[in-house]
Structure 1
């Protein structure tokens, strides 16, 4: 009892008639650039893993012992 291909085509025709192809094209472009920006910001926030272990600064511990 899902949506048939004919129902999807009728819905697509109604949407094109309401908004027009030019407006839908610009909307699709805006949506694509928003998704790109979101993916870029998410990948920038995640720390990049490297094969080298992090170096620990031990100078402050030596100063405490002295």
Structure 2
């Protein structure tokens, strides 16, 4: 069995297509921590990740 954890994808999740709800103040510390943690992360290209997963699925002996 191979476990795939591709990470964060480069999408438009926070761009002009996003719909934002009213934030609840009790979640501000968690929201700030998540934003700070994501700030330095590298975004994966979904097309590249999908291709890599298909290679794994077709492998006779996946890692």
Q: TM-score, normalised by structure 2?
A: 0.29
Which structure has the highest helix share of the two?
A: 1
Structure whose alpha-carbon radius of gyration is higher: 1
